[in-house]
Amino acid sequence: MTMFRSTSTSYWSDNEGKPVRFLGQGGYGYVTLVEFSSVFPSETEEKLAKKTSLMSKADSMHREIRILCHCNVPNIVRPATPFIYTKTVNGVEACSINLKYASKGTLSDVIKENDGRLRQKHVKCFTRMILRRLMALHAEGYVHCDLKSANILAFPSKAVGEICELKISDFGLAKEPTEDGFLTDNRICPGTLLYMPPESIGPGSRILSALDIWSLGCVVLEMFGASCFPRTVPGDISDDAKDFVSRCMKVNPAERWSTEWLMRIPF
């Protein structure tokens, strides 16, 4: 194992870990559940999510680990160790990072497990969780750029009546505070097309927090079992829920409400 960068000393005795099972994949690569033995015999083994990409995606990995280690936003998925590791398998170089394991999967998994639609009280609870995380991110100058149900991880919750606790993950495409976010030529904003707003195609576009707000609207529709492209709003949801989605998905980004204003909507 070769260490790219570190901010502290690793406390794992075996950085490879014991593979347990495959968790999922995306444009970045794939994630596996791995089990690590503790340095101390008295401690139990720890399960982590190992995110692996080809070396061509190393810049994205560097961005993600940098953001996760240094931003002060609470309740995002933190790395288990502040390292990026490399390994060559069958002549192919890959890099990986170790993240906290979300035993309940993703928000997408939670929706599927509930027959493709959540009850409104759970949609309301989850939306406020996500909104609080986004509000903290935007306050520090970050834009996630790839907010979707598959990038929101679900952890066990101790709160009565809550299905789980949600945390935002996958910051490899995020805009950092030091970047202006302007797109040149015909560049397209990073992210997943299904969750992207109309202004995401350049030239002349700029990555702003309003991009995440549109994506949030898409996630809310998805939790209600509806489509975000083409946009369909279920007729049986409350007027407050319809109002919330409409504030998120204004075609003009300047008209979309900020996270602070969205928190004031009764929904």
The domain that holds 251 is classified in CATH as 1.10.510.10
Rounded CA separation 248/250 (Å) = 6
**Does 254 share its domain with 160?**
yes
**Does 92 share its domain with 126?**
no
Task: Give the number of C-alpha atoms closer than 13 A to the C-alpha of residue 28, restricted to the C-beta side.
Answer: 27
Rounded CA separation 243/265 (Å) = 8
**Does 18 share its domain with 62?**
yes
Confidence at residue 112, expressed as pLDDT on a 0 to 100 scale? 96
Statement: residue 229 has pLDDT above 90: no
**Does 50 share its domain with 119?**
no
**Does 246 share its domain with 164?**
yes
Q: How confident is the model at residue 43 (pLDDT cuts 50, 70, 90)?
A: low
Inside any domain, residue 190: yes
Q: Which of 100, 122, 148 is the last residue of a domain?
A: 100
Number of structural domains (the chain) is 2
**Does 187 share its domain with 245?**
yes
CB burial of residue 15 (10 Å; 0-12, 13-18, 19+):
middle
In this prediction, residues 38-54 reach a mean pLDDT of 72
**Does 150 share its domain with 244?**
yes
Phi/psi class of residue 178: alpha, beta or left (left: φ > 0; alpha: ψ in -120 to 50)? Answer: alpha
- 3 state DSSP class of 35: strand
Lowest mean pLDDT, pick from 62-66, 107-111, 183-187, 221-225? 183-187
Q: How confident is the model at residue 85 (pLDDT cuts 50, 70, 90)?
A: confident
Confidence at residue 185, expressed as pLDDT on a 0 to 100 scale? 54
**Does 116 share its domain with 219?**
yes
Confidence at residue 4, expressed as pLDDT on a 0 to 100 scale? 33
Contact 77, 174 (CB under 8 A): no
Per the structure, the complete domain to which residue 254 belongs is given by 107-262
Inside any domain, residue 36: yes
Q: Which of 84, 100, 116 is the last residue of a domain?
A: 100
Q: Which of 41, 68, 100 is the last residue of a domain?
A: 100
Percentages helix, strand, coil for the chain, rounded to the nearest 5?
30, 25, 45
**Does 39 share its domain with 136?**
no
Q: Is the pLDDT higher at 214 or at 16?
A: 214
Q: Is the pLDDT higher at 132 or at 160?
A: 132
Per-chain mean pLDDT for the chain: 85
Statement: residue 8 has pLDDT above 50: no
Q: How confident is the model at residue 214 (pLDDT cuts 50, 70, 90)?
A: very high
- 3 state DSSP class of 77: coil
In this prediction, residues 90-103 reach a mean pLDDT of 88
Residue 146 is a catalytic residue: yes
* pTM, to two decimals: 0.87
CATH for 37: 3.30.200.20
| Nearest C-alpha neighbor of 262 from the set 218, 250, 245 | 245
Statement: residue 183 has pLDDT above 50: yes
Active-site position among 59, 146, 212, 243: 146
**Does 38 share its domain with 161?**
no
**Does 176 share its domain with 254?**
yes
Statement: residue 45 has pLDDT above 70: no
Q: CA Rg, the chain, in Å?
A: 19
